[in-house]
Structure 1
Amino acid sequence: MAGARIVRAMVFTAGSVGGLSGAAYGLLNGQSRKARSIIGRPKELPLNADGVYLPDGTGPFLDAERPLTLAMLGDSLAAGIGAESPDRLLGVLLATGLAEEADRPVRLTTHAISGSKTFDLPAQVDRALINPPAVAVVIVGGNDVTSKSRISSSVLVLRTEVARLQAAGTRVVVGTCPDLGVVRSIPQPLRELASRFSRSLARAQRRELDRLGVGSVALGELLAPDFLLRPDQFFSPDRFHPNGSGYELAAGVLLPALCAVLPSPVQVSRLAA
């Protein structure tokens, strides 16, 4: 997700859809400037710890014998922006958990890019399908909210790209759009607008995924209560992305769904790198 963009987009959307008065629009613009100054911009390159993880939790290694392959696709959450160290990236937490549960090595490959919208998924899926992974996690939607994307168009792209992964034999789990209403650095009423948009998108994503028979995890519903109750414990210093503890919460709700779609041993051997 891109914290600073959300406030600009919410101002535009509220003004164009709601027919705000000049005074109200000016108030929202003032709030957006304040929120942008608080959220700030990332100052460091994103962490990456792709490689092979073993059932004993060690890694990453360059290679192992016939590992299960896991791909991460989507936005900054899938990329793990905000984690304090490589071992606390969401992809690494899922890879190590999956290796333990499956009792086999897991090769992690991250295609997710911070700032990506659903409309950026096709390029990520193109890269993933060069060597189709056995399983893939997709987390996307936050930047669709910030960029005023149409929900109907967004979910159509998600459905198409997930279907492409399925056609290649990849088992897919999607984390639906998180609830941006947990980000307290976005002032009211912008925060409520962001929350409504993100919840509507998450519901639409889930409906499309259900039609495909694809497992989805309602990240907003499952994680928002903890983030609202203990923001200092789960947010990174930018006050927008999760920290390592926040990603541990996310991994805790995603891993069971990921294990549930694991291919059989025979299918895994065909898909392993």
Structure 2
Amino acid sequence: MPVSSPPRVVVLIGVLVTGLGFVVGAVGGARVLLARQAATARRLIGKPLGERAPDADRVWKKSYGDPLDLLVLGDSIAAGLGAERRKDTLGGRLARGLARSLQRSVRLRTAAVVGSESSALAGQLEALPSDYAPDLAVIVVGGNDVTHRVPVATSAGHLEAAIAQLRERGAEVVVGTCPDLGALRPVPQPLRSLGSRMSRQLAAAQAAAAVRSGAHAVSLAHVVGPFFITNPEEMFSLDRFHPSALGYKRTAKALLPSMLTALGERDEVPFGHRPPAS
């Protein structure tokens, strides 16, 4: 999303007002209430962070040697927007956690682009060198699909196609499904509940597509979502939409078990994690 565009939470509010308008179009009072809620939320939302996250691409824990190649694709969360230091981005957190668990260096490449919808995954893959073959790829995408009202089946189809391409490159794949947009406190009720329902529908479709395609799926709404709901001041960054350093730490911790399982380093699948179909 360009810097000149309104903050993504404001876009979400507009989308949800439109969505609820279809449901309660005959009730003029409800529309007035929703419009007032949207105006209130806009006043509460912080300034956007821009469109660049810290560059975390490097070899982490070089002293361990024999680097494993980790690729991160998706949207602004995958890119690490909201973190102030590269080690606090999602990619930085994942690389460090994986290196410590495996006692092996991790070479991180971040292809994620701020503002991306699932349709952008194809372009992120096309931008990679043709001979690049990551050992493991992590995809986190979906929030922009919800705010831009992309049909669930269309979003899931783009994700499935990206997974297929990654598998052709020889990569194991882990998908962090769409976060629960109901955690966005600046969005008042009933708008927040509608956002939650829409994001959970997409997350379910993403999980099914991932498992069907041979990838591991992690329900971020179940595994890490409660932390964002109960501790929003700590888990969100200044824009009150993207994760803070602590938010990324929790998100990486939620993804790491499935990453290790995908690499054959762990057998059990924790709650909220779905292995590929056998």
**Matches for 1:39-118 after TM superposition, within 5 Å:** 39-44=45-50, 45-54=52-61, 66-118=66-118
Partners of 1:5 and 1:15 in 2: how far apart? Answer: 15
- Normalised by the length of structure 2, the TM-score is 0.86
Report what 2:15 is aligned to. 9
Percentage of pairs with the same residue: 42
- Name the stretch that deviates more: 15-24 or 76-85: 15-24
Distance change >3 Å, CA 227–CA 43, structure 1 → 2: closer
Stretches of structure 2 that go unaligned for 5 or more consecutive residues are: 2-7, 266-278
1:239 Cα deviation after fit: 1.4
1:206 Cα deviation after fit: 0.9
- 1:162 to 2:157 alignment: no
2:72–2:78 contact (8 Å) kept in structure 1: yes
1:121 Cα deviation after fit: 1.1
- Name the stretch that deviates more: 149-158 or 227-236: 227-236
Q: 2:42 aligns with which of 20, 27, 36?
A: 36
Q: Report the 3-state secondary structure (helix = DSSP H, G, I; strand = E; otherwise coil) of the residue aligned with 2:72.
A: strand
What is the alpha-carbon root mean square deviation over aligned residues? Answer: 2.0
2:46–2:240 contact (8 Å) kept in structure 1: no
Partners of 1:243 and 1:210 in 2: how far apart? Answer: 29
1:41 Cα deviation after fit: 3.9
Partners of 2:253 and 2:203 in 1: how far apart? Answer: 19
Partners of 2:137 and 2:225 in 1: how far apart? Answer: 23
- Name the stretch that deviates more: 76-85 or 89-98: 76-85
**Matches for 1:174-213 after TM superposition, within 5 Å:** 174-213=175-214
Partners of 2:26 and 2:145 in 1: how far apart? Answer: 22
1:21 Cα deviation after fit: 2.6
Q: What letter is aligned with 1:32?
A: A
1:252 Cα deviation after fit: 0.7
Q: Report the 3-state secondary structure (helix = DSSP H, G, I; strand = E; otherwise coil) of the residue aligned with 1:216.
A: strand
Structure with larger RCO (C-alpha < 8 A, sep 6+): 1
Q: Report the 3-state secondary structure (helix = DSSP H, G, I; strand = E; otherwise coil) of the residue aligned with 1:73.
A: strand
Q: 1:25 aligns with which of 2, 18, 31?
A: 31
1:22 Cα deviation after fit: 3.0
Distance change >3 Å, CA 5–CA 66, structure 1 → 2: same
2:47–2:238 contact (8 Å) kept in structure 1: no
Report what 2:125 is aligned to. 125
Partners of 1:75 and 1:102 in 2: how far apart? Answer: 27
2:25–2:31 contact (8 Å) kept in structure 1: no
Q: Deviations over 1:174-231 (max 9, x none)?
A: 0001101011111111100000000111111111112122101000011121211111
2:60–2:106 contact (8 Å) kept in structure 1: yes
1:70–1:135 contact (8 Å) kept in structure 2: yes
Report what 2:273 is aligned to. none
Stretches of structure 1 that go unaligned for 5 or more consecutive residues are: 58-64, 265-273
1:20 Cα deviation after fit: 4.8
2:53–2:83 contact (8 Å) kept in structure 1: no
Report what 1:258 is aligned to. 259
Distance change >3 Å, CA 36–CA 121, structure 1 → 2: farther
Partners of 2:129 and 2:26 in 1: how far apart? Answer: 46
2:82–2:245 contact (8 Å) kept in structure 1: yes
Structure 1 runs, 4 residues or longer, greater than 4 Å off:
none
Partners of 2:22 and 2:121 in 1: how far apart? Answer: 28
1:55–1:96 contact (8 Å) kept in structure 2: no
1:129–1:168 contact (8 Å) kept in structure 2: no
Q: Deviations over 1:110-164 (max 9, x none)?
A: 1111211111111012123631311110001111110011001111111111111
Q: What letter is aligned with 2:236?
A: F
Partners of 1:50 and 1:89 in 2: how far apart? Answer: 10
Distance change >3 Å, CA 8–CA 253, structure 1 → 2: same
Q: Report the 3-state secondary structure (helix = DSSP H, G, I; strand = E; otherwise coil) of the residue aligned with 1:164.
A: helix
Report what 1:270 is aligned to. none
1:4–1:41 contact (8 Å) kept in structure 2: no
Q: Report the 3-state secondary structure (helix = DSSP H, G, I; strand = E; otherwise coil) of the residue aligned with 2:224.
A: helix
Q: Report the 3-state secondary structure (helix = DSSP H, G, I; strand = E; otherwise coil) of the residue aligned with 1:113.
A: coil
Report what 1:62 is aligned to. none
Distance change >3 Å, CA 17–CA 144, structure 1 → 2: farther
Q: What letter is aligned with 1:39?
A: I
